[in-house]
Structure 1
Amino acid sequence: MFDVLGLDAFEEAAYRRLLTLPSAAAETLAATTHTDVAAIREALKSLEEKGLVARSTATPNHYVAAPPDVALGSLIVQRQDDIGRAQLEIMRLAEQYRTEAAARSHIDVVDVVRGRQAIAQRFAQLQRSAKAEVRALLKPAEAVVSAEENADEDIALDRGVRYRVVVDRAAFADPRFVDRAADSLRLGETIRVTSEVPLRMVIADHSLALLPLLTGAGQRESGALLIHPSGLLDALIALFELIWAQSNEILPSPTGITELAAQDIDETDARILGLLLAGITDQAIGSQLGKSLRTVQRRIGSLMERTGAVTRFQLGHEAARRGWTAG
């Protein structure tokens, strides 16, 4: 637990054992923890340097544990200071990077990443750096990082990063993929499916895109393109949004997942949508349906969020594509 404070498991075990004793010699701790005396002495020496134990004034060859709130609290403050200095250095390096990036040539906007391990590291860094959104296109081919290994996605979702993913329909032929998709939906990911995804791609905010380029046959060697802010990145984002707008939403169901059904809105939403598309104002819609203006606007907002529409015109397009009618 205290490895984040610089203690290894052996040192932590020795400190915890010493906390239960008024004082103890290295030999006593070795006997009670079934550990070599020399190893205990090394651990006590390290703990003493970190301020977690001290020599007993009554018995010099005995050690006493320092109060946890004082000793461990001091280590926490030290780590916080270290993190603060690291953050300042990151800001300095980021500013240096931005300055250098401004001078990049048209060739420099693309970095070539070689090897599966290097690609996996870049994939993790991309997700960790995302502040608002990660967008991805997935094909059924084997990924450099499997869904089970991608712990960074769960962490990013927990800190509020939105995930929008479009999946090639062929991927759902694998029952394991269906189960993973259902798990991702429960975690808050938004998934859509289309007949064919043209390429595999991950985009973090408007900052970076990663395009894995697996070589096929055995896929023993692999590479990827890392795209920095540029017209090329803008084009990839536009490509994603085009594919996203033309794809069908996937929803969780008791049996796993289901593709969005044609009439998957309730009667009230259908009537609101019909009146809205007829050009009726929100206030007039509320009057006709006996709903407050706030309720009407909330339901329209919910429909827009559900379809990913930014404008009401886009909502009308999405409603027509999905077969939603006024009933």
Structure 2
Amino acid sequence: MLAAIGLDETHESAYRALVAVGAADIPDLARRLTLGEQDTERVLRGLERHGLAAQTPARPGRWVAAPPGVALGALLTQRRHELEQAELAAALLAEEYRAAAAEPAVHDLVEVVIGAAAVTQRFLQLQLGAAEEVCALVTGNPVAVTGMENEAEERAAERGVRYRVVLERTVLDRPEGMTELSAALGRDEQVRVVDKVPTKLVVVDRSLALVPLTSHTAEPAALVVHASGLLELLSGLFESVWREALPLRLGASGVTEQGPDGPDAADLEILSLLLAGLTDASVAKQLDLGLRTVQRRVKRLMELTGVTTRLQLGWHAYERGWVARER
């Protein structure tokens, strides 16, 4: 727990032991820590350098713990100061980067990444740097980046980054395909499936894209595309495939595919009442449904139409004939 202020597990255990007993000599503390006496002395010297322990003047060789409120408070203050300095340095570097990129040259708009390890690393970096959304097309024959599941994706999802993923149907035939898909759906990622994905693609926050360079002889390579007309084209490609794909959902019976037949009768009633101006709670009361049921159905309709706001959902509902215009 104290690793954040520079203490490893051994030093933390020694400090906790000293705090518990009040004072101890090296042999006694060595037995408590199951360490050799030399190692125990080395640990105590480390605590001394951090201001967490000291030898008693009256009995040399006997060690006491410094008061946690004072000693740990000083370390926390120092670490906060270091973090503030790091944040300031990061802000200055970001400003320098923006200034240098104000008028990017053509060669700065596309970055070539060569090698399986380099492509995988860049893919993970893009996800870790995502702020709002990651969109991905996943083919059935990944080369450098395999599958949907990785630690970076989980960490991004925990930060609230939204994922929209379109899978090629053959992905589900791979041994690990259903396991990865279930994990992604369990993180509330939006996943759809089509028979054929045109290319593997990742678009992050509509500001960066990663697209592979196909070659049968050379090692794996990819392009990192920055804000440009090419990036807009790749984003448009994803949205086009997304609209045609069928949503996948995780239910009690496993992963199911949402057919193209659209909403059911209950969905249409909910849509009509929402478009008439009723709140979710009023709709739930009028239709004798739970509030969560109404919200879940609205969310499913938004996923089905590929929209992000209820205003867009209303427009799509009219365009698709789900709700009569004269209502």
Distance 1:216 1:65 in 2: 64
Deviation at 1:96, TM superposition (A): 1.0
Question: Is the CA contact (8 Å cut-off) linking 2:135 and 2:204 kept in structure 1?
Answer: yes
Distance 2:245 2:148 in 1: 25
Farther off after superposition, 71-80 or 198-207? 71-80
Deviation at 1:138, TM superposition (A): 0.6
Corresponding residue for residue 179 of structure 1: 179
Please list the CA deviations of residues 262-282 of structure 1 after superposition, one character each: whole Å capped at 9, or x if unmatched: 456342323566x79xxxx73
Deviation at 1:13, TM superposition (A): 2.4
Corresponding residue for residue 199 of structure 2: 199
Question: Is the CA contact (8 Å cut-off) linking 1:52 and 1:65 kept in structure 2?
Answer: yes
Q: TM-score, normalised by structure 2?
A: 0.81
Corresponding residue for residue 12 of structure 1: 12
Deviation at 1:141, TM superposition (A): 1.9
Q: Could you say if the C-alpha distance between residues 203 and 71 of structure 1 is closer, same or farther in structure 2, counting changes exceeding 3 Å? A: farther
1:314 pairs with one of 313, 316, 320:
316
Question: Is the CA contact (8 Å cut-off) linking 1:10 and 1:43 kept in structure 2?
Answer: yes
Q: Could you say if the C-alpha distance between residues 283 and 214 of structure 1 is closer, same or farther in structure 2, counting changes exceeding 3 Å? A: closer
Distance 1:246 1:141 in 2: 21
Amino acid at match of 1:172: L
Corresponding residue for residue 234 of structure 2: 236
The runs of at least 4 consecutive aligned structure 1 residues that moved more than 6 Å come to 297-300
Deviation at 1:162, TM superposition (A): 0.6
Amino acid at match of 2:106: H
Corresponding residue for residue 43 of structure 2: 43
Deviation at 1:41, TM superposition (A): 2.1
Q: Could you say if the C-alpha distance between residues 148 and 102 of structure 1 is closer, same or farther in structure 2, counting changes exceeding 3 Å? A: closer
Question: Is the CA contact (8 Å cut-off) linking 1:178 and 1:256 kept in structure 2?
Answer: no
Corresponding residue for residue 256 of structure 2: 258
Question: Is the CA contact (8 Å cut-off) linking 2:210 and 2:224 kept in structure 1?
Answer: yes
Q: Could you say if the C-alpha distance between residues 316 and 182 of structure 1 is closer, same or farther in structure 2, counting changes exceeding 3 Å? A: farther
Corresponding residue for residue 190 of structure 2: 190
Distance 1:18 1:12 in 2: 10
Please say if 1:125 is aligned against 2:125: yes
Equivalences, count: 308
Please list the CA deviations of residues 16-43 of structure 1 after superposition, one character each: whole Å capped at 9, or x if unmatched: 2222222123333223323232222222
Distance 2:36 2:190 in 1: 54
Farther off after superposition, 57-66 or 190-199? 57-66
Q: Could you say if the C-alpha distance between residues 37 and 146 of structure 1 is closer, same or farther in structure 2, counting changes exceeding 3 Å? A: farther
SS at match of 1:107: helix
Task: Give the CA RMSD over aligned residues.
Answer: 3.2
Distance 2:172 2:210 in 1: 23
Amino acid at match of 2:246: N
Please say if 1:80 is aligned against 2:80: yes
Corresponding residue for residue 287 of structure 1: none
Q: Could you say if the C-alpha distance between residues 232 and 128 of structure 1 is closer, same or farther in structure 2, counting changes exceeding 3 Å? A: same
Q: Could you say if the C-alpha distance between residues 79 and 115 of structure 1 is closer, same or farther in structure 2, counting changes exceeding 3 Å? A: farther
Amino acid at match of 2:108: D
Q: Could you say if the C-alpha distance between residues 215 and 21 of structure 1 is closer, same or farther in structure 2, counting changes exceeding 3 Å? A: farther
Question: Is the CA contact (8 Å cut-off) linking 1:304 and 1:315 kept in structure 2?
Answer: no
Q: TM-score, normalised by structure 1?
A: 0.81
SS at match of 1:180: helix
Amino acid at match of 1:235: L
Q: Could you say if the C-alpha distance between residues 82 and 121 of structure 1 is closer, same or farther in structure 2, counting changes exceeding 3 Å? A: farther
SS at match of 1:203: strand
Please say if 1:224 is aligned against 2:222: yes
Amino acid at match of 1:60: P
Amino acid at match of 1:180: E
Corresponding residue for residue 154 of structure 1: 154
Identity across matched positions, percent: 38
Distance 1:128 1:104 in 2: 24
